[in-house]
Amino acid sequence: MKIAGLSFLSCWFAAFHQRHLQGSLTEENRHLCEKIEGLEQLNKALDHKIHERTRNLVNLQTQLLQAEKFAAIGQLAAGIAHEINNPVGFINSNLQTLQQYVAHYTRLLGILNRLEKALKDKDQQRVAEVVDSWGKIRRETNFAFIGTDIGNLLKESMEGTAKIGKIVADLRTLASRDRGRIASVNLEMLLESTLNIAHNEIKYKAQVAKEYGSLPMIVCNPQKIGQVFIHLLVNAAQAIEGKGTITVKTYFDGEYACVEISDTGCGIAPEHATRIFDPLFTTKPPGTGTGLGLSLSFDIVRKHGGTITFNSRLGQGTTFTVKLPPALPEVVPSDQWRDYERD
């Protein structure tokens, strides 16, 4: 009886201990589930904050890109206005001269009408008077010169309007709202467009030497790559003190289409070499540089799967080399391009 009682008591204590242990485990499991749920909530909140901050950084980058683009356009605006005003000036002068020539021919047409009427009326006296009038006008007016000059004036005016149209088209390519247009581009033609826009900025500082090689067509955003070339060309001109040379060279190295823009300017100091692509870094006087051009150019080229490097010697000049693959990198998703290029 004692042994049976002890056995019963032992079983009861074992069962009680097991129930107590199960209850503790259940309570701990409930606490653990609550903690896991809390961690999931924190993780969701953290993901939301990361997404929000990433979106804000992308928006900020886009705003900086747009601000730098228009800063570059503003910097070139005076020169572009001068380039447009020159042909506008001589077109206006040509039109005024043509207006005078039209007046001469209008008088001549009036004489021919009077002569035709006199001949129809068989009025010999009026015919003689008209012929005398024509003789007087012919002596006063060099119609032989006018006939030749009209062709020259029209040719000059058409060339002027073509030049204005080219400047406006090139400017629109650089300054228009970017919709992420990707196209197959001839880089040398794109360089010609950017040289046309930057012509007034360059012509007083440097001669441009072109050494174009045989390049394949490049799939890229022409507006963005054109913006890179504008920055490099303007920087090259501004680095030259007095008069110098800017050399634009293109070649294909078997893997990349390469564009070199070299100047005979002041060069880059060694202590600045490691910071040249840093955002907001500039060695230009206050008000003449934003410090964003090279940084954003670096990012644009990187987005295209390429590289931008430089080689410089203080007091002798600098060469920037842009290398671009023929096709866009597959590692950059199309939606990332859209985010990057949205205005």
Q: What is the pLDDT of residues 215-230, one digit of tens each?
A: 889 999 888 898 899 8
Domain positions in the chain: 77-172, 178-341
User: Mapping DSSP to helix (H, G, I), strand (E, B) and coil, where does residue 341 land?
Assistant: helix
d(CA 304, CA 223): 12
Query: What are the residue ranges of helices labelled H in 122-207?
Result: 124-140, 143-175, 187-197, 199-203
DSSP β-ladder status, 257-263 and 218-220:
unpaired
User: Mapping DSSP to helix (H, G, I), strand (E, B) and coil, where does residue 1 land?
Assistant: coil
User: Which has more confidence, 272 or 75?
Assistant: 272
Tens digit of pLDDT for each residue in 21-48?
666 677 777 777 777 877 778 778 777 7
User: Which has more confidence, 285 or 330?
Assistant: 330
CA atoms within 13 A on the CB side of 40: 6
Q: Which residue has the tokens 């001589």?
A: 90
CATH topology of domain 178-341: Heat Shock Protein 90 (3.30.565)
In the numeric block, which tokens belong to residue 53? Answer: 């901050």
Torsion of CA 170, 221, 288, 196, to 10 degrees: -20
In the numeric block, which tokens belong to residue 58? Answer: 């992308």
Q: Burial letters for 174-184: b for 16+ Cβ neighbours within 10 Å, e otherwise?
A: bbeebeeeeee
Closest CA to 163 of 200, 209, 202: 200
The pTM of the full predicted model, rounded to 2 decimals, is 0.56
